[in-house]
């Protein structure tokens, strides 16, 4: 029994490690749903005034979505790798397909939260009803009093209407909520189809086998973890060395003393080395051997970034 439980936990661990992007996107979506619900309950209050309703309703959907999109772009490592690539080497070494793939990766990941926000807003319907209630044609409502116009229709979302218009308010609200939810479901369907087609295109165009792609993903994850951990230790030891040089001593705890004694640091890496391992990386091979990252490429002593007779570029971006 214990062995079975351990095996199940091992399987779950490997599953979640292999699906880290999916899980991250799911957490982003759930966080966005919670934020939208909180915003609707606490912050959303339709002004119920002609001309203001439309602006406020669209802003309630569009502005948070735009902010979430920009945050997603900022948090994406590919964004800053692209900035570093353009700053240090330019984009002359990238083909049109590679550039499209890179921007598609950045935009796709950054779109998870804003699309979720927009879908939930449309399914709830409050912002849509607020924005478009004043544009409902009175002639489309059976026996709607001719004395009332857009000013009264704009007040329908706030329920601040005369008693004789209650049934019309319910009809308008029901009609607009139907339209809003229809657009929300259509948006979900369109996004689902796009994700499916993108996944199919990615696997069809991938130069790697399934096992090699899985190995590459594991390598990138391990390299990143080890690099961050080593960089943290290296910077701590270097800082301790410089502080000791300034004061004549350095106050270290037991763990830090062990690190200083175990890993002597003589200096820092020169800027050309940092530049060589920083930037966008697309899968390449050199003389038939794979190069899984810029660090791997630097360690093997492979020069250049573009295609060469010995190393050809395979247009497949690290996800």
Domain that holds residue 143: 40-205
pLDDT-derived band of residue 225, with 50, 70 and 90 as boundaries? Answer: very high
Residues 59 and 110 in one domain: yes
Is residue 181 a part of any domain in this protein?
A: yes
For residues 318 and 224, give the distance between their C-alpha atoms in angstroms, rounded to a whole number.
13
Measuring CA to CA, how many Å separate 130 from each of 50, 153, 173, 228? 10, 10, 9, 49
Residues 200 and 231 in one domain: no
**Residues 49 and 62 both lie in one domain:** yes
Whether the pLDDT of residue 306 is over 60: the answer is no
- List the 289-291 sheet strands across, edge first: 289-291, 282-286, 311-317
Evaluate whether residue 309 is within a structural domain. no
What is the model's pLDDT at position 37?
58
Calculate the alpha carbon distances from 57 to 40, 63, 67, 137, 261 in Å: 12, 10, 16, 19, 62
Instruction: Tell me how many domains the chain contains.
Output: 2
Asked whether residue 151 falls in the same domain as residue 198, the answer is yes
pLDDT score of 202: 77
Tens digit of each residue's pLDDT (9 = 90 or more) over 206-221: 778 878 888 988 999 9
Specify the pTM.
0.69
Which pLDDT band, with edges at 50, 70 and 90, does 19 fall under? Answer: very low
Element (H, E) at 291: strand 289-291
* Long-range contacts of 171-177, Cβ-Cβ distance < 8 Å, separation of 24 or more: 171/141, 172/129, 172/133, 172/136, 172/141, 173/129, 173/133, 175/136, 176/125, 176/128, 176/129, 176/132, 176/133, 176/136, 177/125, 177/128, 177/129
Q: Does 186 share its domain with 227? A: no
Residue at a domain's end among 157, 178, 205: 205
Q: pLDDT tens for residues 251-280? A: 999 998 998 889 988 888 898 898 888 877
- H or E element in which residue 311 lies: strand 311-317
pLDDT at 31: 60
pLDDT of residue 120 exceeding 90, the answer is no
Mean per-residue pLDDT over the chain, rounded: 79
Say if residue 182 is in the same domain as residue 228: no
Cα–Cα distance, 80 to 76 (Å, whole number): 7
Find, among 104, 31, 94, the residue nearest to 73 by Cα.
Answer: 104
At 285 the three-state DSSP class reads strand
Q: Which two tokens stand for residue 212?
A: 């090699």
The pLDDT tens digits for 36-90 are: 555 554 577 888 888 889 999 999 889 989 998 999 899 888 888 777 777 766 6
Q: Are residues 171 and 281 in the same domain?
A: no
Looking at the structure, do residues 187 and 137 belong to the same domain, yes or no?
Answer: yes
């Amino acid at each position: 029994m214990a062995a079975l439980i351990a095996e199940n936990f091992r399987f779950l661990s490997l599953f979640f490690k292999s699906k880290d992007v999916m899980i991250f996107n799911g957490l982003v979506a759930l966080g966005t749903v919670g934020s939208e619900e909180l915003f609707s309950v606490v912050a959303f209050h339709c002004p119920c005034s002609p001309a203001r309703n439309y602006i406020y309703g669209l802003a309630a959907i569009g502005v948070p979505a735009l902010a979430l999109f920009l945050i997603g772009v900022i948090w994406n490592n590919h964004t800053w790798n692209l900035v570093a690539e353009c700053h240090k080497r330019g984009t002359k070494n990238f083909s049109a397909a590679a550039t499209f793939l890179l921007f598609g990766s950045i935009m796709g990941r950054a779109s998870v939260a804003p699309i979720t926000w927009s879908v939930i807003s449309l399914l709830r319907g409050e912002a849509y009803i607020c924005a478009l209630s004043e544009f409902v044609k009175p002639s489309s409502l059976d026996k709607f009093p001719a004395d009332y116009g857009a000013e009264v229709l704009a007040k329908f979302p706030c329920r601040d209407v005369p008693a004789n218009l209650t049934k019309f308010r319910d009809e308008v609200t029901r009609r607009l909520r139907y339209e809003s939810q229809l657009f929300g479901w259509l948006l979900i369907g369109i996004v689902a189809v796009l994700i499916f087609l993108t996944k199919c295109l990615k696997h069809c165009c991938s130069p790697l086998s399934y096992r090699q792609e899985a190995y590459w993903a594991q390598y990138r994850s391990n390299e990143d973890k080890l690099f961050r951990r080593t960089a943290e230790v290296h910077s701590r030891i270097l800082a301790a060395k410089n502080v000791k040089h300034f004061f004549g001593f350095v106050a270290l705890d037991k763990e830090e003393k062990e690190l200083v004694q175990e890993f002597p640091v003589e200096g820092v890496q020169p800027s050309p080395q940092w530049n060589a391992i920083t930037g966008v990386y697309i899968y390449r091979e050199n003389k038939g051997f794979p190069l899984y990252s810029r660090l791997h490429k630097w360690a093997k002593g492979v020069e250049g970034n573009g295609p060469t007779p010995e190393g050809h570029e395979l247009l497949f971006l690290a996800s």
